[in-house]
Structure formats: structure tokens, C-alpha cells
Chain A
Amino acid sequence: MSASTAAPNRTRATSKAPAPTARARRRTTVLGLTAWAVGIVFCLPALWMVLTSFHSEADAATNPPSLAASLTLDGYRTFFGGGGGPTPWPPLVNSLTASLFSTLLVLLLALPAAYALSIRRVSKWTDVMFFFLSTKMLPVVAGLLPIYLFAKNTGLLDNIWLLVLLYTSMNLPIAVWMMQSFLADVPVSIIEAAQVDGAKLPTVLGRVVAPVAAPGIAATALICFIFSWNELLFARVLTGVVAGTAPVHLTTFVTSQGLFLAQLCAASVVVSLPVLIAGYAAQDKLVQGLSLGAVK
């Protein structure tokens, strides 16, 4: 708190011309401290969420907030069904199924496509790229109703595999774009050299292309995983008690509780944890994925 109030005064101390080193160093320190203060204040809601998740319900709902209240795991215990409530495992398993399998399917479809768009290029490959991108611009609500009716008539409503397919289509354009840019980084000369040496296509892909493109492919997979895990609208409309995912579970379990803040925060921490881990792991490639490969 004190850091944030002190910060604005200090930013004005910025010097103008190329200053002597002492002054430049002081400026760096001041701006560094400002960045720290901004980072902490901006992240405060998330930090507050984590802190509250370890408080008892009584301590979580005080005004003014009780920062130094004793810590407990009760929120987590209740969320995991400790108080006789519903357990979150089915929704968590559903989310995991939908995210993992759709990510796998995305990779299976996007890798060959990216190969045909970067290494052995089809003619007019840029047109194909932009066709992929344009489908990403089509809002989810554009096809929601027909998909719902289709699911209803074919008995796929409340079936997790339908979500797997939809999440695959949601992420496929991003994956194709990202993967195209990663595969295009593989030098053509080493591929040709391998072919001259008599290597067959699978060998070229496995021994030459894969090692170079592997980090990019991993980042693509993590980003697809995050988007699938976060999705709410499809899941909300197309699933019910059986195939409901973790975000759907979050929206429903709140309503019936009395004092629930600690439990809610614990739930949010648990559900966000996979995304946080995947996101931190993919941090360096995150921009590239989110900007559909436009920014490297």
C-alpha cells in the first residue's frame, strides 16, 4: 500500500538529457520501483483471491478486510466436498478431457496443415492462411443455435466429446497460424541436405523438423489448452449435469451458498491453477499465439 502512494511523486523525478551516470542510475531505480508498485497493485485482486482462499469464511467477509487473520484450508476442504456438498471432480475431469483431447486433435490436424503451408507450400498458401484466420473472426454466437439443435437431435447434448470437437474448431486457426510461423523457421537447407542424404519423409520430420519446431509446438499446445479450459458459452449451453466443465461448475455452485467467499476464492484458485501453470510455461510465446502469429 505505502509503495503505491509513494510512487506517483517519484515518477516526476525523471531526468531529460543524457545525464551523468549517478543520475541515470537513480532514474532507473525510481522507474524500477514504480514498475514494482504498479505490478503489485495491478495483481492485487489475484493476490487477494489467494489470501482469501486460505481464510475462514468468517474472516473472509469482514469490513474492513482482515489481512492478518489465521490461515486455514477450510475453503479448499469445502470446495472438494468436505462439507457433504457436491464434489468438483466430475467437472474438473470433464474440463481436462475436453482440453486435452481437443488440444491433441488440434495438433493432429494443424501439424500437417502447417507443413503444407510452410515447408512444402501449396500454391496460394497465403489465401489459405487467411481463410483459416477468418473463421476465427466468426463469433461463437454465429453458430450456437444450429449446433445446439444438431446436438439435441442427435443425442449429443451433455456429451463431452461434442465440446472436444467444438474446442478443436475454436483453436485450429490459431494453431495453424502459430505452427506455420514456427515451421517456417526451420531452414530449408537442412531439410534438403537430409533428403539428399536419402532420408525418407518420416525421418526428415522426426529428426530434422521436430527438434527445431518442438518448443513452438509445445507453446501452441499450451495456448490451445488454456483457451479450451477457459471456455464458458458452449459449455454452458451444450452441457448439463453429466458433461459440465469446471467454468460451468463455478457459475452454478455459487448461487446456493450462504457465506461462501473463502470457498469461492479456493475454487477460483483451483480452477485457474492449470491455466496459470500453462501460461507461465508458455510466457515467451504467449504474444505470438494471441496475436495469431502476427507478432513475434
Chain B
Amino acid sequence: MTTTTAVRPTPPRPAPPGKRPTGSRARAWATRAPLLPALVFLIVVTQLPFVATLVISFFDWNSLKPDQRHFTGFANYGSVFTDPALRESVLTTVLLTATVVIVSVVLGLAFALLLDRTFFGRGFVRTLLITPFLIVPVSAALLWKHALYNPEYGLFNGVLTWFGNLFGIESIAQPEWTSEMPLMAVAAALVWQWTPFMMLILLAGLQSRPAEMMEAARLDGAGPWQMFRFLTLPHLRRYLELGVLLGSVYIVQNFDAVFTITAGGLGTANLPYTVYETFYRAHEYGLASAVGVVVVIGTVIIATFALRVVSSLFREEASRA
């Protein structure tokens, strides 16, 4: 009930339309009109709920004990940073995001370099490399959990047995992937899905290198490594930044892989999963909202950098056009 009332207060204003003395106001509104439905829709559906989350985060509110709901100030935020389980999920989120982003950027760069030349079947290889990104995330997570990681009949241990038989090793290791290295198991599945994303961005970066510059360097006798180190890498810098930042924004929010592969167990619960768990299972609405707000603050920090990179690329495009 309170949410509906909490939702009502005035929405945060969108970027106010500029007041330039351009003739009649009616004309200006006619120009703005096509923009309004989309703006209003987004504000109502994305900004208002967040305002409500902010309000709820200041309440001690468990939906199983609705009459004990009361205002607690910053107590929920205190719990977020003192509760060891919640603090661990902050750490898990950072670790998981960093691992996935770094590994997939490095792999993506290697793949992009391989694709940045003509060879027989290039289009087909590109399609092969994009495919993991086009598997529905839940399917991919289930595939890794059951068909690859399963200790008895998963592909990984199956291949190990195979090698064992090949080289006559009787008792080759058969690790329980998801319980012995849970976080790495989740990370590997995510790397598999996100490497194509990085590859596509970096490939676009490679292909936007000025051809004359590369040719001139080659004629001056620069070797492949020198060309990569002093021409390609500096040119790719902003594409790398973009990949890292957008990847971080998406992966910080990941829910599917954690939910499916380990169900948040064994220290793999990241913040989005913890929010889900806290409100959906533990019914701690106030606490869940506080965790949600912390996620938002974290994302905003990364996103500010992301926006800066996007805007510099954007301006470059705009000035070129």
C-alpha cells in the first residue's frame, strides 16, 4: 500500500528542455512532442520504482510481520556493511565482475586479432565465435552446469577420462567443478558468453584503424609486434575502455548464471542474487532495498566512467559526420 503512495511524489525532472528564444513556444513544443511519450514512459517505469526503493530502504520492514514496519534511518545500510554474508556478496560481486571482464577482454582481443585478416571461411569462423553470445543465458548456464561440469557424465570429466585412457592413466582426476571451484565455474560460463561481445567491439576498433597509417608504418619497416604495440593498442584504447566499462555494467547485474549454476551457494552470491534472495525468500523488504541502493551506487560509479567514454566516442562520430 505504502509503495503506491510512496510512488506518487513528483518524479525527478528529465533534462529540462533548453530555453532558447526561438520564435513561438508552440513550435518548440511541436518539436519536443515526439520525444515526450518515450521520456514519460521511461521516467514512470524506471525512475519512480527506484525512488520507492530508496524510501523503503529506510524502513525496517519484513513482509511476514507487516505490523512491525517502522522507520529506521540508516540501520539497513549499517547491516549491509556489517553483516558478514552481505559484505561477502559485495566482495563476490567485485571479484566475479573483475575476473569475467578481464579474461573476456583478453580473449576477445586475441579473437579479434585473428579475425582481422582475410582467410578462407572468415565469415563462418566469426559466426562460430559469436554463437556463445546468442545462447539464451539460462540455457548457457544450464548447459555448463549439467552437460559440462557434472562430475559423473559432464563433458569436462569425460574428456579427462578420455585422455586418461589414451595415455594409460588409470585414476585421472575427476573434479567436482561446481563445488570445488564454484566462483570460477560461474566465471568461466560468463566468460564464454561475454568474450564474443568484447571481440565484436574490439574488431570494430581494429577495422577503424586508418589504413594509410598502418601501410606507412609497414613501409617504414615496423614489425608486427611494433605495429601492435605503438599503433594498434593506442588506437584501441577507447574501444578497450568501452568494452571493459559496458561489460562491467552488464556483468555487475548478472543474475542468471549465479542463480542457475550454484543458486548463490558456496560464496557465489553476488549482489543482484542477494537482493533477490533477501526479498523473495527472506521477505526482508527494507534490507533488500538497501542492498539494491548499494548496487545502484556501485553501478553509478562504473557507469559515470562508461558514459564519459561513450560520449567521447559519440562526439567523435558527431564531428566526423
Listed in ascending order, the chain A residues whose CB lies under 8 Å from chain B are: 14, 16-18, 28-29, 31-32, 34-36, 38-40, 42-43, 45-46, 48-49, 52, 60-65, 109-110, 112-113, 115-117, 120-124, 126-135, 137-150, 153, 165-166, 168-169, 172-173, 176, 181, 184, 226, 229-230, 232-233, 236-237, 246-247, 250-251, 254, 260-261, 264-265, 267-268, 271-272, 275-276, 279-280, 283, 286-287, 290-296
Contacts and interface: CB of A to CB of B under 8 A. Distances in A.
Point out which of A35, A173, A247 has the most chain B C-beta atoms below 10 A from its C-beta.
A35
Interface of B: 1, 3-4, 6-7, 14-15, 17-18, 20, 22, 28, 31-35, 37-39, 41-42, 45-50, 52-53, 56, 110-111, 114-115, 117-122, 124-140, 142-144, 146-148, 150, 152-155, 157-159, 161-162, 165, 192, 195, 197, 200-201, 203-205, 218, 221, 223-224, 239, 242, 246, 249, 252-253, 255-256, 259-260, 271-272, 275-276, 279-280, 285, 288-289, 291-293, 295-296, 299-300, 303, 306-307, 309-311, 313-314, 317, 321
A43 B128 contact: yes
Contacts of A112: 33-35, 37-38
A123 B20 contact: yes
Contacts of A286: 130, 200
> Which 6 A-B pairs give the minimum distances between C-beta atoms?
A143-B49, A32-B119, A112-B34, A146-B52, A268-B139, A137-B303
A279 B130 contact: yes
A130 B306 CA distance: 11
A143 B50 contact: yes
A41 to B, nearest CB: 10
23 contacts: A38-B111, A39-B128, A45-B144, A46-B131, A48-B148, A61-B153, A63-B158, A64-B158, A109-B41, A113-B34, A117-B35, A123-B17, A137-B299, A139-B299, A144-B53, A144-B276, A230-B138, A236-B259, A247-B136, A251-B260, A264-B146, A279-B130, A294-B317
Contacts of B114: 31, 34-35, 38
A233 B272 contact: yes
Point out which of A52, A65, A120, A141 has the most chain B C-beta atoms below 10 A from its C-beta.
A141
B155 to A, nearest CB: 6
Given A150-B3, A275-B136, A287-B204, A120 B31 contact: yes
B159 A290 contact: no
A292 B272 CA distance: 23
Contacts of B111: 38, 42
Contacts of A40: 128
Contact of B157 (A14, A63, A169, A265): A63
